[in-house]
Amino acid sequence: MRGGQIKQLLTHAAVKNATLDVLSCFKNTTLCIMTEFLIHVSLNMRLSSLYILCFSAVLTMPFVSMAQYTEVINSNRPSQSMGAFGVGKRVYQLEQGLSFRTGNFSAFQDASYTGMGARTQIRIGLFKEQLELVGTADYQIDALRYSNAVGTHNLKRNSFRDLAAGAKYLVYDPFRNVDKYKPNLYSWHANNKIRWRDLIPAVSVFAGAQFSTGGVYPYQENFLPLFDYNYRPIAEPLVSGTAMLILQQHLRPGLVVVHNVGMRYITANVQQKKWIGTVTYSTQSKWSFFGEYTLDDSPLFRDLTIGAGVAYLFNSNFQLDVAVQQSLKTTPSLMTAGIGVSYRVDRHNIWKEEPQSIEENKQKRAARKNDKTENKKVRKAAKRTGRGLKKLDRKQKKIERKIKRIK
């Protein structure tokens, strides 16, 4: 439900029961147990979400490690979640999607909309392997139709629906000890089973800013302009904060589980909490498949959306994907279907001999200095040895001459 008038009709228990009903058919799987637990906890969280997020980030800070640059493109598409690992230093990546979007809110003024949207995300790896800069823009063109006492209305709209920028930092990488993940050459089962250490996730934190989109889609809500807020007008702030905790697990070869827990519009009057869980399976034939749930919770609306899609890796720097998302609610019912591409400019290994840090620079300079010193000592020793041999040779010749005179 959306808006102050309809929010009272959807209680906390109703959302919780609907969510658990969806998960009940999968209740025997480990993944669903984890997902059910996260949603159960999430629904009982309020503003303390931000404190928990920050506290979790602080706890993981002592375990800083190196991010993993991948030889093939590492794309967030076509899912809505964000992976824990960055693109890598000196990698510039573009993720672009075009989608058909429709929504139906027949219970409220018989409202509906149909349109197209373009979503762009730019990811840049700078300064450190663990650091990634992210910029996101979502532009939507649609026609909103609704009815009231006056009659039927058609409202054509086009504007940015989402504008955000921020930075992601990898604070813990379970793959830092690569010896634990070396393949077993004698056992196929050992290489494909789920190990306890595979349950330990990589942890990243994301922080950034959410920018106002001009009021056409306030707080990314498609039907909000229809609600009457004469006594308490809702205005989207020019800039507000956003933060997210990112967990990523590699349960077995090709199987990846990602969880995002975050909050948007932190400094605004209408704060939005978001939970995303994504499961991705990649085959050895360049195909990958994904399924996910997205739970949005704010004073304006609560939505539970499921999605599925497929991606194909054309080469190490280019990926094509197709995906569809559908909300489980009918107040309103939302559907998105689209295609997308991901492309990167990989300059990660352009200077293979370049030192990775100031400390390595110092070590290399010290090593060159030590080599010069050692070479100098060797040359001096050789010179002294040469002079000594010449001196001995002269003495030997002098003795030989004396012996000849005596004879």
Asked if 145 and 152 touch (Cβ cutoff 8 Å), the reply is yes
* Cα-Cα end-to-end distance for the chain: 126
Averaged pLDDT of the chain: 77
Rounded CA-CA distance 62/219 in Å is: 35
pLDDT in tens, 12-58: 434 344 444 433 433 343 334 344 444 443 444 443 444 444 434 33
pLDDT in tens, 290-300: 999 999 888 87
Asked if 100 and 344 touch (Cβ cutoff 8 Å), the reply is no
Percentage of the chain modeled with pLDDT above 70: 74
Number of H helices, E strands in the chain: 6, 12
Q: Supply the pLDDT for residue 336.
A: 94
Cβ–Cβ contacts within 10 Å for residue 266, how many?
19
Residue 337 Cα to chain centre, angstroms: 22
Question: Is residue 91's pLDDT more than 50?
Answer: yes
Question: Is residue 98's pLDDT more than 60?
Answer: yes
Which stretch of 308-317, 319-328, 369-378 has the lowest confidence by average pLDDT? 369-378
Triad 358, 362, 363: Cα angle to 5°: 115
122's tokens? 């730019």
Q: Supply the pLDDT for residue 230.
A: 54
Amino acid at 236: E
Main-chain phi, psi angles of 111, to 5 degrees: -85, 150
Q: Supply the pLDDT for residue 391.
A: 78
Most confident of 56-65, 292-301, 320-329: 320-329
- Three-state SS string across 139-171, please? EEEEEEEEECCCCEEEEEEEEEEEEEEEEEEEE
Residue 403 Cα to chain centre, angstroms: 91
pLDDT in tens, 271-290: 889 999 999 999 888 899 99
- For residues 147-167, give the mean pLDDT: 87
Tell whether pTM > 0.75.
no
CA 351 vs CA 127, 132, 266, 347, 357: distances in Å: 15, 20, 41, 8, 13
For residue 178, the SS3 value is helix
